Structure 1
């Protein structure tokens, strides 16, 4: 368990962020912890993150050239996953619109911010390549923060995306190699745009998009080694800090007071803060829960506020609610498999039924299966299949036992925020030691 020593000289930290739903709470948690520690923290990000950043103790400035999401409505989302049936096409759109292809605009905004007010170090998203580029151009030490599992597979892990289990034989190793090659090719479709931006700033071209991320001094994973697959050998620059499970500001105080007490097993249903076309899945889940002797709570989140859905008497539909308040009395969580929802459930020792719909969700579902803390279903599962999975999780005590075991492991790891702060301060101190006479 990490114990922080007395604070050293406060750092001037520039954090770069973007509005992607589940990636926001970990960054707000990091801002809050660093500001409380006494560091001077500034966030440059989408306007939708302004209020939470300021409430966390950070100063805020918006993107001006780069894409800037003004709010969290479904209409303002950069990529409408719900309208794209092919996950590869959705990923390419994210690369083209946010991750890789507009790096010059992101970099110019960041360089303006650094020119107006220098920073000792930057903390950037592992998905925002324009931020990585700006750090390299300005020679500002860079720490990447991954809101969940590692984007680049760790030694012994399957590639990110498909939701594979670790390879156990040569055929599965070949499967992983083929999938990794496909993933690499997808990233590299945006390489011309990234190299054009690098040329604009006088930098040499890269052979691979992911080589840009490899230039960061640290990559901090906001997940738990207890939840992740076993790692054959941890790369030196990559560190686990644990899940940063700050609740969204709009959910903290809402909803749960109206739920009441029920002697039946409780199911909590949560399907993303962004719109992934989950309305049809939710209807089937509600129909499934209506068949069971349970008391269910469905939280819609920002993506589906005011979503009209008929619910049986044992299912309550809420726009939002504090999951922290509901989970202590919950026996099963039904979810798309977003990292925050999964880890929050496991922190409370609650097993899951996971129906992944893309992004990191397949890989989170694979880890749920691996640790036997829940059941994975296709998002196309019928109401009867969903009902059977919920019944199986409730009836098989081993799922709850394994979830409680995971809760104990997560608790033993200590404060994720403290571990993040310790890693950032150690990185800054190491940089000062390597380059005496300069700022951190």
Structure 2
């Protein structure tokens, strides 16, 4: 079977798919990928046929951090996805013509590509590497966006009934006209609700699991939780790591710029006097002007997987990829959410007892130090989450689902 995977220009959306593609390739299927230009060499090293998505897509910056209010941030983010959709529809259409696949996997945020996949008549699926923004008709899941605690009692249910439709209208006004414009040009029916973006495909590989995700009485049809499927390009561990004999604390920022660099600076100040070995990874632009204490190392890039093997805590902005990679290793997290889906990720961490949550407006060295030290006591919760991830079957279960969707068996 020939499988074509199409991603948005975000490493956080590509990396969780790689173990699934690797499992499909291991079973003998032919895998082709369209993704960020910077990642094609790494994917070719995995044995896939890889080409870059259209340059015009990568040229459109995800700049929601420039907006001042939550509704404005949502609008700016949706405008980015809508602008990219104008290009990714034609891009996937060309890729299908060139590759002649038997099945197509599409990033859930590639709206135009999703419309083309739907129209193609081929078996197709999406994958989602962050919390599912779909309400639960039977309750239990708070309205998506601000990171609310799950409702308890009559007042909580009243809150959800009042806020749910309001938040859905905000997202709908921002997303539906843009998504439906490209769907109209592709000749497929319009979405009626924002939730349709995530539930229109016959299969959605949902890259998380309980107990990090909230339980639902009933999941939307087609949703298959497969855990985070964490991956990063292979790299040798840093030579100094073996000699580290104190608890290691890792801090990192978003792979897509969102002005969260002060998290690293605050962590360096907060933990300068603690008996820990602090490791910070930060893009080159954020290295200038940092004061690095004696118990810390700062680098533009370090492989996280070997660091997690020694880590006692990870301090993160709350991106689902970085957060779930730590939890999959049984490492508790201190989450400081700055925007996007990070409020939801942070609250899920807190509710699962797998770490701590510190809102970015309250970020200070003293508060962060306390939050990190508390998070380091949450190892049992992190291990419960890791066990939940493993119980899904991970990439093996995801590959089974893709094969089942396509009615295909692995080649003999």
The alignment's TM-score, normalised by the length of structure 2, stands at 0.89
- CA apart distance, 1:391: 2.6
Q: Show CA shifts across 1:195-232 (max 9, x none).
A: 33333344444433543543211111011223211221
Name the counterpart of 2:63. Answer: 80
Q: Show CA shifts across 1:313-344 (max 9, x none).
A: 01111222122211222212211112222222
Change (3 A) 1:151 1:12: farther
- Between the aligned partners of 1:226 and 1:209, the Cα distance in structure 2 is 25
Change (3 A) 1:411 1:325: same
Choose the corresponding residue for 2:156, options 172, 195, 207. Answer: 172
Once the two structures are superposed, the pairs formed by residues 116-135 of structure 1 within 5 Å of their partners are 116-135=98-117
Q: Show CA shifts across 1:237-276 (max 9, x none).
A: 1111111100145xx336x322453443321112222222
Once the two structures are superposed, the pairs formed by residues 330-345 of structure 1 within 5 Å of their partners are 330-345=311-326
Structure 2 counterpart SS, 1:297: strand
- Between the aligned partners of 1:41 and 1:227, the Cα distance in structure 2 is 31
Name the counterpart of 1:216. Answer: 201
Do the aligned residues in 2 keep the contact of 1:79 with 1:90 (CA within 8 Å)? no
- Between the aligned partners of 1:413 and 1:117, the Cα distance in structure 2 is 31
- Between the aligned partners of 2:48 and 2:71, the Cα distance in structure 1 is 36
Do the aligned residues in 2 keep the contact of 1:103 with 1:133 (CA within 8 Å)? no
- CA apart distance, 1:289: 0.6
Q: Show CA shifts across 1:113-158 (max 9, x none).
A: 2233422221111222112210222222221101133232455312
1:321 lines up with 2:302 in the alignment: yes
Change (3 A) 1:35 1:167: same
Do the aligned residues in 1 keep the contact of 2:23 with 2:399 (CA within 8 Å)? yes
Change (3 A) 1:402 1:225: closer
- Between the aligned partners of 1:347 and 1:401, the Cα distance in structure 2 is 12
Change (3 A) 1:226 1:190: closer
Do the aligned residues in 2 keep the contact of 1:28 with 1:52 (CA within 8 Å)? no
- CA apart distance, 1:308: 3.9
Do the aligned residues in 1 keep the contact of 2:253 with 2:263 (CA within 8 Å)? no
1:294 lines up with 2:284 in the alignment: no
Structure 1 counterpart SS, 2:406: helix
The alignment's TM-score, normalised by the length of structure 1, stands at 0.84
Once the two structures are superposed, the pairs formed by residues 238-277 of structure 1 within 5 Å of their partners are 238-248=223-233, 252-253=235-236, 256-259=238-241, 261-277=243-259
Structure 2 counterpart SS, 1:421: helix
Once the two structures are superposed, the pairs formed by residues 12-31 of structure 1 within 5 Å of their partners are 12-31=2-21
Q: Show CA shifts across 1:363-397 (max 9, x none).
A: 11111111112111012311111112223334xx4
Name the counterpart of 2:263. Answer: 281
Structure 2 counterpart SS, 1:67: helix
Change (3 A) 1:50 1:180: farther
Query: Which residues of structure 2 form unaligned runs of 5+?
Result: none
Judge which range, 179-188 or 279-288, deviates more. 179-188
1:349 lines up with 2:330 in the alignment: yes
Change (3 A) 1:303 1:175: farther
- Between the aligned partners of 2:134 and 2:280, the Cα distance in structure 1 is 33
Structure 1 counterpart SS, 2:214: coil
Q: Show CA shifts across 1:273-332 (max 9, x none).
A: 2222122222111110113222211122x4756444111101111222122211222212
1:61 lines up with 2:40 in the alignment: no
1:400 lines up with 2:389 in the alignment: no
- Between the aligned partners of 1:58 and 1:38, the Cα distance in structure 2 is 12
Do the aligned residues in 2 keep the contact of 1:132 with 1:213 (CA within 8 Å)? no
Change (3 A) 1:122 1:400: same
Name the counterpart of 1:200. Answer: 185
- Between the aligned partners of 2:193 and 2:328, the Cα distance in structure 1 is 37
Do the aligned residues in 1 keep the contact of 2:40 with 2:50 (CA within 8 Å)? yes
- Between the aligned partners of 2:324 and 2:247, the Cα distance in structure 1 is 20
Change (3 A) 1:214 1:333: closer
Choose the corresponding residue for 2:397, options 403, 407, 419. Answer: 419
